[in-house]
Amino acid sequence: MPSLGELERAVMDVLWAASTPLTAREVQDGLGSRELATTTVLTVLGRLERKALVTRTRDGRAHHYRPVASREDHVAELMRDALDGAPDRGAVLARFLGSIPPDERAALRDLLG
């Protein structure tokens, strides 16, 4: 799973929050206070497309972008990749469980039970 830079993550956050595919201009507007040129946003969207994180469809002269997977699916894949790289998955899981708040541990127990 490819990692995301700060700007790539911000663009993905905009796309994940949207209920429909967005144009580069709409993504740019969704980034709010960031002063970015549309060409910069297009470059980031192109990078995300090459990383297979977004898809692009043409609608007239504009392209619309949407995430390939949900934010939850993306994070779950990152977690799987991290575990796959660990020589002792059990130790990693134990450290992870020890680092999260009790209410999240309880939620995990509920999901597993």
N-to-C CA span, the chain: 29
pLDDT above 80 for 1: no
- Note the pLDDT tens digit of each residue in 72-110: 999 999 999 999 999 999 999 999 999 999 999 999 999
Segment 64-78 mean pLDDT = 95
Give residue 16's pLDDT: 98
Spatial CA neighbour of 47 closest among 78, 82, 12 = 12
Which tokens hold the place of 28? 């740019």
Q: Could you tell me the pLDDT band of residue 113, with boundaries at 50, 70 and 90?
A: confident
Q: What is the percent of the chain where pLDDT is above 70?
A: 98
The H or E element containing residue 50 is: helix 38-50
pLDDT above 70 for 19: yes
pLDDT above 80 for 30: yes
Q: Could you tell me the pLDDT band of residue 35, with boundaries at 50, 70 and 90?
A: confident
Q: What is the mean pLDDT of the chain?
A: 93
Alpha-carbon torsion, ordered 96, 101, 102, 103, to 10 deg: -110
Is the alpha carbon torsion for 2, 34, 54, 19 positive or negative? positive
Domain 6-67: which CATH number of 3.40.1350.10, 1.10.238.10, 1.10.3720.10, 1.10.10.10: 1.10.10.10
